[in-house]
Amino acid sequence: MTGQPLHIGFIPLADAAALIVAVDKGFTAAEGLDVTLVREVSWSNVRDKLNIGLFDAAHLLAPVAIASSLGLGHVKVPIVAPFNLGLNGNAITVSPALHAAIMSEIDGNRFDPMVTALALARVVAARRKRGAEPLTFGMTFPFSTHNYQLRFWMAAGGVDPDEDVRLVVLPPPYMVDSLASGHVDAFCVGAPWNSVAVDLGVGHILHFVADILVRAAEKVLAVRRDWAEKNPDLVAALIRAHFRAAEFIEDPKNRAEVARMLAQSERIGVDADVILRTLDGHLKISPDGTMRESSRYLLVGREGAARPDPVQAAWLYAQMVRWGQASISPEALEVAKAVFRPDLYEAALDIAGNAGKRGSDAIGAFAGPAFDADDIAGHLAAFEIGRRKP
């Protein structure tokens, strides 16, 4: 396995940190891997290059790995995720005009997502009454956490995401320019692009995704299932290297070095201070300098974040069913859960089954009943707004 060449695709986002640090700090090389990181702009590029074998592994949206395995929206290519690159890390950012409109309708704590969702519903109703165009929200991909998080939030307040607003797909690096130009009124994207919008004065961070879901699987290290089966030693080596990287990132004394590493133009390409604020969970949320702290803003390795959790996969599949992207069936649920492979993670790190799990089953959504991965139909029955297939 010495010097094994691998090509791994990534999108310039803070939750690619473990991947970038694993390579740039030499953790992959220490495992006998010669990794070339390939920066991409869109998730469709990453998915397609992974699926056809141009990439051996990829930084991938967790729902894309599930959709690919189910053959939803594209060709069916079974994917496995033996390592979770990040929990949370997304935020909803709105234009100054929409922020003012929502704040004018606020009745309660502005950091409570139910309060803002109800305020948004009043804004939407007022716009409809005066004949204004629907609000436009940007998200990164139809099969994305960003799509489901936006939908979950606004639907809880009575806003139908398919009828009352427009949702459009934009690559993460293009979100800020789209907000600045008025092409979108808001977006949900991963760090650091929310902070970039605030720093430029074109946006306000309305919510961290941790306000909406306590734990949300975001990006995974993804490989094709057939490749994983043929190369178990390489998969184990990748897991070990990324585990070391996640531990390195989560040590506060390394954060400044990590931020400089990620800031490089060929990596994320934004100011190191913006990345450092992301890693520390200390973010400026408005152009006037208002700051907000959250210990849960982005979890890279702590609190068992790196362990793939099949319950997280089940929640993502449930969102696909809720919004009409997938039909409900026990077989499809099992396929979805099988994408997340804690067994590979635990075997590579030589830890006992469920070790380090630390309550990772909790989704912790702000609305609706506690999630039951064994009763998707019952769970979804609690929500009035959705697009379930008959």
- Show the domains of the chain with their CATH numbers: 4-87+217-269+300-308+319-360 (3.40.190.10)
- Looking at residue 173, its pLDDT comes to 86
Cα distance from N-terminal residue to C-terminal residue, the chain: 50
Buried-state track 283-300, b at ≥16 Cβ within 10 A, e below 16 = bbbbbeeeeeebebbbbb
Residue listed under structure tokens 């808001």: 186
SS3 of residue 57 by DSSP: strand
Look up residue 160 and give its amino acid: D
Report yes or no: 8 and 35 within 8 Å, Cβ to Cβ: yes
Q: At residue 33, what are phi and psi to the nearest 5 degrees?
A: -110, 140
Q: How far apart are CA 90 and CA 223, in angstroms?
A: 23
- Looking at residue 49, its pLDDT comes to 97
Choose among 76, 43, 73, 77: nearest CA to 58.
43
What tokens appear for 234 in the block? Answer: 């390489």
Cα angle, residue 199 at apex, residues 195 and 205 outer, rounded to 5°? 45
Residue listed under structure tokens 């070790």: 355
Neighbours of 41 (CB within 10 A): 13
Residue listed under structure tokens 């100054």: 96
For residue 89, what is the DSSP state? -
Cα angle, residue 334 at apex, residues 349 and 382 outer, rounded to 5°? 115
pLDDT tens for each residue of 168-204: 999 888 999 999 999 999 999 998 999 999 999 999 9
Q: How far apart are CA 310 and CA 26, in angstroms?
A: 30
Q: How far apart are CA 197 and CA 245, in angstroms?
A: 28
Q: Which strand (E) or helix (H) includes residue 138?
A: strand 136-139
For residue 174, what is the DSSP state? G
- Looking at residue 359, its pLDDT comes to 43
Q: What is the pTM of this model?
A: 0.94
pLDDT tens for each residue of 227-264: 999 999 999 999 999 999 999 999 999 999 999 999 99
pLDDT tens for each residue of 117-139: 999 999 999 999 999 999 999 99
Report yes or no: 315 and 363 within 8 Å, Cβ to Cβ: yes
Choose among 306, 354, 310, 362: nearest CA to 335.
310
Report yes or no: 287 and 204 within 8 Å, Cβ to Cβ: yes
Residue listed under structure tokens 């990287």: 245
Please list the ranges in the chain whose pLDDT falls under 50: 1, 355-361
